[in-house]
A = this chain, B = another copy of it.
């Protein structure tokens, strides 16, 4: 059983300029494949202190993963210190040098001499090519200990870890194929989901199942290792079917898409357009939809009707309705959805009205939300919610509930 230590090298971490997200990423990945790790260390760009850190780490662990310090400047000294610590030399890796030279040619910039340093690797190491930057990663073994050196920028380190380091760690060579799949859930809490699949979680080995929660959603990440892609896919398929039987109704995506991307794709498929009337959400639904490039084919626009005057004058909600039922009401949500559909000439109108807090208004408790949905010629639907959390959480949850409901309705209506 391997014991790992993660070492991040970089004075910017000691100054608090950046947070060590690399350690969190690698920690999660290691736990996914069953490698336990007991320590994480951060050390500055200083050769004496890095050497001290290597001594401490190799006294208590077998697998030492270092991030950072592989760049071209004098401050970057991870390779140099590890090589010296192990009594090994640095040698030029021709393939990496070629790709660095090609990079400079491509961006039409002159390659300075110090960039060659990035193509140096520790002798006898296995080299991980960098497809998103210049400095390659590497693994060198010594006295039953393994040292893995990875670049610091997350956009280089993460794909290198997923595509090259994970297969290497799982197989001891790079002959194993790793496949992972993300099952994304909405409408079920993390603890209930865990309870429903507890036996699978407890007996997992291949694929491993890692639950992750963020932004009011839960995800299960299945990761299988096998000799080829087909076998790995088959292993994942079997576990996915078991999960599907129990909690399949809460899964909205299995290909990495988020809730908003799923909705946008469905609307594109069905050649439908959408427009929104946003009161408490204040533009958040529109913002999340337009985070996705190229949505102008399906998203017409929206009316952020924060004041009742806008609900009345632009969206045609009658003052009588606003006076008798109030802006936060079933009737107002219905009228807003119907009227924004008509006003924007869209296939779908969706509306949001409610109380996001932090202070409750006279008649409405914090978290009371009505979502209106009008699709084509169908009768408008209104969903009433009682949400909890901060203002930010209530607004985000409203937007996600509506998006999830739209996805369900569009999937159900095959004839749309």
Option from B53, B284, B303, B359 in Cβ contact (under 8 Å) with A287: B284
Q: Is A16's CB under 8 angstroms from B27's CB?
A: yes
Question: Which residue on B lies nearest to A8, using beta carbons?
Answer: B40
Q: Which of A166-174, A176-184, A239-247, A291-299 contacts B (4 or more CB under 8 A)?
A: A291-299
Contacts of A356 in B (CB 8 A): 293
Contacts of A283 in B (CB 8 A): 278, 282-287, 290, 302, 304
Q: Does A347 contact B (CB under 8 A)?
A: no
Q: Is A282's CB under 8 angstroms from B293's CB?
A: no
| A293-B16 in contact given A283-B283, A307-B299 (Cβ < 8 Å) | no
| A344-B19 in contact given A38-B43, A39-B42, A303-B303 (Cβ < 8 Å) | no
Q: Is A40's CB under 8 angstroms from B60's CB?
A: no
Q: Does A31 contact B (CB under 8 A)?
A: yes
Instruction: Give A359 to B295 CA distance when docked, in angstroms.
Output: 12
Contacts of A111 in B (CB 8 A): none
Q: Does A25 contact B (CB under 8 A)?
A: yes
The bracket for how many chain A residues form the interface is 35 or more
- Smallest CB–CB gap between A140 and chain B, Å? 23
Q: Does A54 contact B (CB under 8 A)?
A: no
| A28-B16 in contact given A287-B287, A345-B313, A357-B293 (Cβ < 8 Å) | yes
Question: Which residue on B lies nearest to A42, using beta carbons?
Answer: B40
State the 6 A-B residue pairs at the shortest beta-carbon distance, nearest first: A282-B290, A283-B283, A283-B286, A16-B28, A16-B27, A40-B42
Residue numbers of A with Cβ under 8 A of B are: 13-21, 23-31, 37-44, 46, 49, 52-53, 56, 60, 275-276, 278, 281-287, 289-291, 293-296, 299-307, 309-310, 313-314, 343-345, 356-359, 391-392
Chain A to chain B contacts (Cβ below 8 Å), 20 pairs: A13-B40, A16-B28, A16-B30, A18-B24, A19-B23, A39-B43, A56-B56, A282-B289, A282-B290, A283-B284, A283-B287, A283-B290, A293-B391, A296-B307, A300-B307, A300-B309, A301-B304, A301-B314, A303-B304, A314-B344
